Every structure is written in C-alpha cells, then in structure tokens.
Structure 1
C-alpha cells in the first residue's frame, strides 16, 4: 500500500509535465480539437488533460467503484464538449492510447528511482491497473460521445420533419399544410404526428392540405395521408385537399380509399375561394 501511495504521489507531481509533453508531441494536422489554433480551445484542452491525470493517478489509492464514480463527471464533460463532439472518434482513441504509453514510461521512471527492488509482479500489476483504467475511461467517453451525437441527430431530424410539414396559420381558425417532395413512410408518419399536434396547439378548425408539390408516394404513404384526414376529423378539424396529382389519385383508388366525404379542389387557389 505504501508503494501505491508513493506511485500516486509521483504521478500526481508529474501531471503538469504529462500534459505539456503530451500536447507538444500532439499531431496537430489530424483535425478536430487537436488541430485547433484557438488559444481558448488549446487552454481548455490542456486543462481537460491535466484534470484527467489528477483523476487517473488516484486509481492506486482509491477503491475501484469510487474511483470510476469520481471520474464520471470528467467523462461526461469531455464527451459532451462541442470541440470533442466535432473530433473524429478514432483521433480521440488515438490520444488515449498515447497517454497510456506515457504512463508506462513514467512508471518505469518511478521504478528506477526506487532504492529498494520492486518485484516484477508488482510492476506488471501497476501497468495492468493503468491500462484497464484508461481503457474503461476511453470506452465511456466514446460511448457518451456517441449518445450525444445520436441525440443531436434526433433533434435535427425532428426539426427537419417540422420544417417539412409546416402548419401555417391563416385566419379565423384556418391553417395550411403545404407538402413538397417525396414522402416516404417515415416522413408520412412524422407529418401525421406533427400536424395533429400543431392543429391542436393552434386551435385549428379547418386545414388546407396542398399536395401539388408531391410527385411520388407509395401505397403505405397514401394510406397515412388519408389516416391523417380521418384523425383530424376526430379532433374537430375539417380538411380540404388540393393539388392531388393523377399518380396519387390512382394509388388512392387502387387502395379503395373513399373520396366521398373529403373536400377536394384541383388547386389551392380554388380551395381558398370555397365558402366555409
């Protein structure tokens, strides 16, 4: 235990040197946070690295679960850091491996400075502990980075879906849903969900759905469009459809969808001119 404490103290004293040597040997052409010339980004990067060393050396003096629990805040901060999120994951892993090699060198230096012989099994244990700790931290950082990126992608997809199916306020409880482009099954489902929510939020009583910009739908999508109309009716929203292209009409007829109870006009201008 005394030797563990001595190694901890030795590595803690070397933390600043570890950070400076690591940054000086850094490949700054690889991209991401490691290639930044921004003084503030560099300062933050060094501070993160220095804090890493302050945590890591405690692996020799702390109980394992407590050690990783204490490390978790650092892991979450780095994994959610915008600069690291924009850095290729393989470069982040490369730097963890380089730091791991640094520790192997410093452990050897510590051993050489000892007046008493250190047994090989003890040396092997120290190195194994460091390797395993860094591997766990590296894996957690990569995992949390992946989670944050997926969350960002989901948020972007939600924004895109909302923008691709905008419910535009008109007047007197009327609104317009202009649909443009190809509608696949996923987008159709998003349109249904978003439109129902927006109509409820805006207290819409009449929705104009314009399909003149839609060139291609499959049978599943056609079904969902008409499901939207039925769902709107259930929440008290009347609908008028305009701009149905022949291909969509053909698909709807093929599916046996009844147009009888649906207000349909050839153009949006015609829909607006109808009395309500």
Structure 2
C-alpha cells in the first residue's frame, strides 16, 4: 500500500473541519435515525464518532494494509453496535459513508493543487484508489456487523415475545393455565410445545387448562402441533382441558382426522374452571 507522510499530516490537520463540514451538510429536515437527533449530547457523540473515523482512516497512508484494517475493526464494531446507528436504516448510514468518501476525494484534490508539480499523476491516482478501496472494505464490513447485531437483537426480541405470548400460569397447587392469544404460526406453535412441557414440569403442574378463545384462525400444521402438545402433556402425566375452541378451529381439526375423544373440552374458560 502506498504511503505518504505529508498527505497523512495534511489530512490530520483537516480532520476537525471535515467533521464539522460533514455534520453541517446533513439535511436536518429529512434526516432520520442518529442523524436527526437534536440532543446536544447525542450530536456531540456523533461528531466524536465521525472524528474518530478520520483519525483511523488517515492511518491508511502510513500503515501496512493488514494492520490498518485490523485496527479499523474496533471502530466498525463500536459504531455498528451503537444504539443510535442500530436504530438507523443501513442505506442511510451508507449514504453518509459515501458523503465522507467524497470529502476525501475532494481534499486530496486540494492537497494536489497546493503541492502542484511535486507529485506524479500516477501517485495522486494511487491515493484516490487507496481511499476508494478503504471505504469499500469498511462499508462492507460495517454492513456485515450492523446486520448481524440487528438480527441478534430481533431474535432476542422474538424470544421475549414468545415467552410473553405463551405463559404457563400456575393457578394453585398443581393446576395451571395456558392462555393462547393472537396468530399462531408454525414457529410459535413449536415454541408452545417446547415451553409448555418445560414449564409444566418445572412448576409441578398436573392439570393444564389450554384456552384458545383468543385464537381466531390456525392452519392445518398448527392444529396438528396443538394436538401434539396435548399428547405430549399426556405422556408426562399432565391432564389437559381445552376451552374456547372456535368452530373454524374445530372444523380444521376434524378435516385432519384429529380425535377429540380423549380430550376434555369446555365452551369457555369459566366453565372449565368450574368443573375442577
């Protein structure tokens, strides 16, 4: 990688101005995410992150390539995991990367003019090439880390939603209630099966009321998994009572040939609790 100490010094002197010019150029009327904040502390932190980017990037002109990208990894991980950048659409962040890239191409041009005749054209070309390559790698890596963290956060949120949407509530002694509300897809049905078995065992529940009054529609696969849940509970010694089964769900179950014969069923939860 081509090195130039003079260009490095020149860019370092311009770093603060680059940050201020970059932030001033953001259209606050259309800005979103981290760039739209009006909080002084958040703005200060955003500028500090941008300035840190410059401090790291200009090292590309004095460090070996491998060492440069290894050092930059720390900045990428820090910014990609930042809550403000996590709440900002990726394409918006990439646009700001490109805006800063244009700043560098412009400032290298200024350096060339101020040092006219000192550097060969191919040397100046190599500086632009270095900047474009650096930005390309940094942007690609940033998107990878940003998306990995976003996916991890979504999975964590989904797990929490699953836990909240499939609670096994201990009513008293060995009696529990599983109220199922909302849409059930295959993934949630699988979670219901695994979580319910675990919770019944952990809470020493011998009789579980499964209330479906909050479920409007289920597909054939989900209907089968609900019946598999009842069969699995029976194997571990838990008696089940179904309540709130809507006609649509009953028809789906019958069309699948699912057998209600050995299942305790009541019209609603109040009737089920009265029977105990």
Q: TM-score, normalised by structure 2?
A: 0.90
Could you say if the C-alpha distance between residues 132 and 256 of structure 1 is closer, same or farther in structure 2, counting changes exceeding 3 Å?
same
The offset of 1:3, in angstroms, is: 6.0
* Unmatched runs of 5 consecutive residues or more in structure 2: none
Give 1:140-219 correspondences, 5 Å limit.
140-219=141-220
Counterparts of 1:67 and 1:23, CA distance in 2: 25
Contact 1:33 1:86 in 2 (8 A): yes
The offset of 1:12, in angstroms, is: 1.7
Q: TM-score, normalised by structure 1?
A: 0.90
Deviations 1:240-266 (A, max 9, x none): 212223332333233222233322233
Counterparts of 2:156 and 2:257, CA distance in 1: 37
Deviations 1:200-224 (A, max 9, x none): 3323222110122323222211110
Could you say if the C-alpha distance between residues 254 and 95 of structure 1 is closer, same or farther in structure 2, counting changes exceeding 3 Å?
closer
Cα RMSD, aligned residues only: 2.1
Counterparts of 1:248 and 1:200, CA distance in 2: 28
* Unmatched runs of 5 consecutive residues or more in structure 1: none
Counterparts of 1:247 and 1:146, CA distance in 2: 40
Q: Which moved more, 1:79-88 or 1:120-129?
A: 79-88
Could you say if the C-alpha distance between residues 66 and 234 of structure 1 is closer, same or farther in structure 2, counting changes exceeding 3 Å?
farther
Counterparts of 2:153 and 2:198, CA distance in 1: 22
Q: Which residue of 1 aligns with 2:80?
A: 79
Counterparts of 1:228 and 1:165, CA distance in 2: 13
Contact 1:26 1:34 in 2 (8 A): yes
Contact 1:241 1:265 in 2 (8 A): yes
Could you say if the C-alpha distance between residues 159 and 109 of structure 1 is closer, same or farther in structure 2, counting changes exceeding 3 Å?
same
Could you say if the C-alpha distance between residues 140 and 177 of structure 1 is closer, same or farther in structure 2, counting changes exceeding 3 Å?
same
Give 1:261-276 correspondences, 5 Å limit.
261-275=262-276
Contact 1:27 1:34 in 2 (8 A): no
Contact 1:209 1:242 in 2 (8 A): yes
Could you say if the C-alpha distance between residues 7 and 195 of structure 1 is closer, same or farther in structure 2, counting changes exceeding 3 Å?
same
Give 1:1-276 correspondences, 5 Å limit.
4-29=4-29, 30-114=31-115, 117-275=118-276
Contact 1:185 1:221 in 2 (8 A): yes
Partner-residue secondary structure (3-state), 2:172: coil
The offset of 1:144, in angstroms, is: 2.0
Counterparts of 2:264 and 2:198, CA distance in 1: 22
Could you say if the C-alpha distance between residues 58 and 249 of structure 1 is closer, same or farther in structure 2, counting changes exceeding 3 Å?
same
Could you say if the C-alpha distance between residues 213 and 113 of structure 1 is closer, same or farther in structure 2, counting changes exceeding 3 Å?
closer
Partner-residue secondary structure (3-state), 1:170: strand
> Aligned pair count?
275
Q: Which moved more, 1:92-101 or 1:135-144?
A: 135-144
Could you say if the C-alpha distance between residues 251 and 21 of structure 1 is closer, same or farther in structure 2, counting changes exceeding 3 Å?
closer
Q: Which moved more, 1:55-64 or 1:26-35?
A: 26-35
Contact 1:177 1:207 in 2 (8 A): yes
